[in-house]
Amino acid sequence: MEPPTLKPNLLRNILIRLLSFGVLVFAVRFAYIVTVKGGSCDSGDFCFFPENLNIRGASVRVQSVSAVSDVGHLSTTKKWRGSVDYYSSIFQDLISEGSLSPNSIALCIETQTGEDVLALKEMGIVDSVGIFKKAYPPLIVHGEAHSQPFGADTFDFEFSGNGGLDRSARPAEFAAEINRTLKPGGFLVIHTSAAKDMYSFNSLLELFNFCILIRSHEIDGVDSSSIREVVMKKHVEILGFEARESSLSGNSANKCSVPGYKREIIRNAEPLILEEPLKPWITLKRNIKNVKYLTSVVDISYKNRYVYVDVGARSYGSSIASWFKKQYPKQNKTFDVYAIEADRAFHEEYKRKKRVKLLPYAAWVRNETLFFEITRDPGKKVMPKGGGMGRIHPVKTSSSYMGHSDTNKIEGFDLADWLKSTVTYRDFVVMKMDVEGTEFHLIPRLIQTGAICLIDEFFFECHYNRWQRCCPGQRSAKYQKTYAQCLDLFTSLRESGVLVHQWW
């Protein structure tokens, strides 16, 4: 008897079911990669896009897209195709000048739909990829500017177009990741609409201080608006980078290197009041209307942090809430606030204030114990929101003080050293100082140590033997300094490259 044979229909059904099962597995795998892993593949996985993408590895080789049809429905819009052509012209110019080549491994940062990536591929630069928080294969893999999914020294060319840097809430991390993934000698090109003044442009260059500037010029953007194209090249010699870092931070010889654009800002500031006013409390208050705030004339978008230091803060409502929070133009930036106040009468309210860090010490030129005289009416308490009582005046250091019935002991700290350990030249720092005469000790120390280089805008009240309100023709005996000596302090600050304003 011959063995039974399977009917052709049964064999066909089995094959169809096996094939359907395989397609289902493939589809599930595809959906997992796209939706969960953002289009990236771990080693050992099978993928049909991108080819040989080494996440956090040393190389990136992405599937070639040789025709517009490879990106599907994206090519159906005239606007999208126009953007591809725009970036093609941009990259062609970069190839002509040697910043880009067909052999480059290229990255487009924060590209939403990949027009710039496709432009590179159509020009023959096949090792090109884009990153965005939402993957768009085969052009874009999941990644963010401040956290690139690639290894160190991966790319020969990195491009940030369409205002990617301008929108970043973490410009310092944005720059740090480029520093990590861009090869030494590699090129970086940034399109920005924010760097329109010399202050913000130099802030951008400081942000990418691991690069040298090749060129910068105004061009039409993809939407025909005016933008700045900045072309940079990463340093090859590490020693050169470190030397430049030291020079920019003002640490090389404790002197500020004041570029011309900063001096121009200072020259255009409101003039100092050269003649001693007969009624200083009125003159100085009127002068606030003439103050040209730095943030009203420059863009501070490329700074790493935004910091306000109130030296002699007194109560929270004294100048932090009543002036800085309400009046200072902050360009919608969130500032970290440091309140330096030695009088314990004001300390309690700061415990309830968010984003304000209290330093309950006296700003001084060294770290040491100090003794202070408290000025207050004998029969009255010090009110945290008071208007004039509770001021602290330095008397003598602990090494020479022999005792006094109306003094308080408190710790002083080196303001210059603290400032240098707290902020960097990449931060935007505003300082207000009202320290009842101690400015004649603090400011020379800030200048001598180079800490003054870290302050972008400075407001301080200089205390001298003013004419008294109560007694016409008589000067206050509280302070020994003259108005001329105050002018010397203001002048030395402006010569050091600090935009300083007379406080009231």
Q: How far apart are CA 126 and CA 106, in angstroms?
A: 9
More confident position, 40 or 162: 162
The alpha helices in 389-474, defined as continuous H runs, are 415-422, 439-449
**Cβ neighbours around 140 below 10 Å, total:** 24
Which of residues 63 and 85 earns the better pLDDT score? 85
Please determine, for residue 395, whether its predicted confidence score (pLDDT) is greater than 70. no
**Residue 346 confidence (pLDDT) above 50:** yes
Q: What is the pLDDT of residue 46?
A: 42
Percent of the chain with pLDDT strictly greater than 90 = 53
Residue with tokens 């790493």: 304
> How crowded is residue 399: how many other Cβ atoms within 10 Å of its Cβ?
7
Mean pLDDT along residues 141-146? 93
pLDDT in tens, 24-49: 666 656 555 544 444 444 434 444 44
Instruction: Check the CA dihedral 44-49-53-56 and report its sign.
Output: negative
Length of the chain: 504
Give dist(CA 395, CA 362) in Å, integer.
Answer: 12
Residues near 116 by Cβ (< 8 Å), separated by ≥ 6?
83, 87, 91, 108, 130, 159, 161
Quote the CA–CA distance of 423 and 451 in Å, as a whole number: 10
* Contact of 233 with 240, CB cutoff 8 Å: no
When computed from its CA atoms, the radius of gyration of the chain, rounded to whole angstroms, is 31
Whether 348 has a pLDDT exceeding 90, the answer reads yes
Strand 226-234 to strand 182-192: parallel, antiparallel, or no bridges (unpaired)? antiparallel
pLDDT classification of 480: cutoffs 50, 70, 90: confident
Within this chain, domains 68-236 and 260-502 share the same CATH topology: yes
Distances in Å between the alpha carbon of 69 and those of 155, 234, 242, 406? 27, 36, 48, 86
> Which class is 260-502 in CATH?
alpha beta
Tell me the C-alpha to C-alpha distance, in Å, between residue 173 and each of 13, 84, 178, 231, 376: 58, 28, 9, 19, 49
Is the CB of residue 266 less than 8 Å from the CB of residue 499? yes
pLDDT band at 489 (very low <50, low <70, confident <90, very high): very high
Query: Is pLDDT above 80 for 424?
Result: yes
Angle between helices 115-122 and 78-97 (to 10 degrees): 60
Confidence tier at 374 by pLDDT (50, 70, 90) = low
User: Residue 65 pLDDT > 90, yes or no?
Assistant: no
Give the tokens for residue 167: 């929108």
Rounded-to-integer distance, Cα 460 and Cα 464, Å: 13
Structure tokens at 377: 């009416």
Within 13 Å and on the Cβ side, how many CA atoms surround 253? 3
- 136 band by pLDDT with thresholds 50, 70 and 90: confident
Q: Are 184 and 235 in contact (CB under 8 A)?
A: yes
Whether the per-residue pLDDT at 347 is higher than 60: the answer is yes
Question: What's the rounded Cα separation, in Å, for the pair 337 and 339?
Answer: 7
Residue type, 24: L
- Kindly report, residue by residue over 77-121, the tens digit of the pLDDT: 788 889 999 999 999 999 999 999 999 999 999 998 899 999 999
What percent of the chain is modeled with pLDDT above 70?
Answer: 75
Between strands 407-414 and 226-234, the pairing is unpaired
- Give domain limits for the chain: 68-236, 260-502
- Is the domain spanning 68-236 CATH 3.40.50.150? The answer is yes
Work out the mean pLDDT of the chain and round it to a whole number: 81
Q: How confident is the model at residue 1 (pLDDT cuts 50, 70, 90)?
A: very low
Give 222's DSSP letter. Answer: T
Worst-scoring range by mean pLDDT, 21-25, 142-146, 331-335, 422-426? 21-25
Quote the DSSP letter at residue 1: -
3-state helix, strand, coil in the chain (%, to 5): 35, 20, 45
Residue 230 buriedness (CB in 10 A; 0-12 / 13-18 / 19+): buried
> Torsion over CA of 148, 225, 99 and 184, rounded to 10 degrees?
-30
Q: Which of 400, 207, 425 is nearest to 302 (CA)?
A: 207
pLDDT of residue 366: 93
Task: Say yes or no to pLDDT of 393 above 80.
Answer: no
Eight-class DSSP state of 77 = -
**Mean pLDDT, rounded, for 439-453:** 93
How many CB atoms lie under 10 A from the CB of residue 377? 9
Residue scoring higher pLDDT (162 or 501):
501
pLDDT at 49: 40
For 481, the token pair is 């300094």
The reply to whether the predicted model has a pTM over 0.85 is no
Sign of the C-alpha dihedral computed for residues 448, 449, 450 and 452 taken in this order: negative
Would you say 492 and 266 are in contact if contact means Cβ atoms under 8 Å apart? no
Per residue, the 3-state secondary structure of 223-260, as one string, reads: CCCEEEEEEEEECCCHHHHHHHHHHHHCCCCCCCCCCH
Residue 216 dihedral angles phi and psi, to the nearest 5°: -150, 130
**DSSP sequence for 151-217:** -TT-EEEEEE-TTHHHH-S-HHHHHHHHHHHEEEEEEEEEEESS--SHHHHHHHHHHTTTEEEEEEE
Q: Place 8 in a pLDDT band, splitting at 50, 70 and 90.
A: low
pLDDT in tens, 233-266: 998 864 444 444 444 444 445 677 788 899 999 9
- 462: phi then psi, degrees, rounded to nearest 5: -95, 130
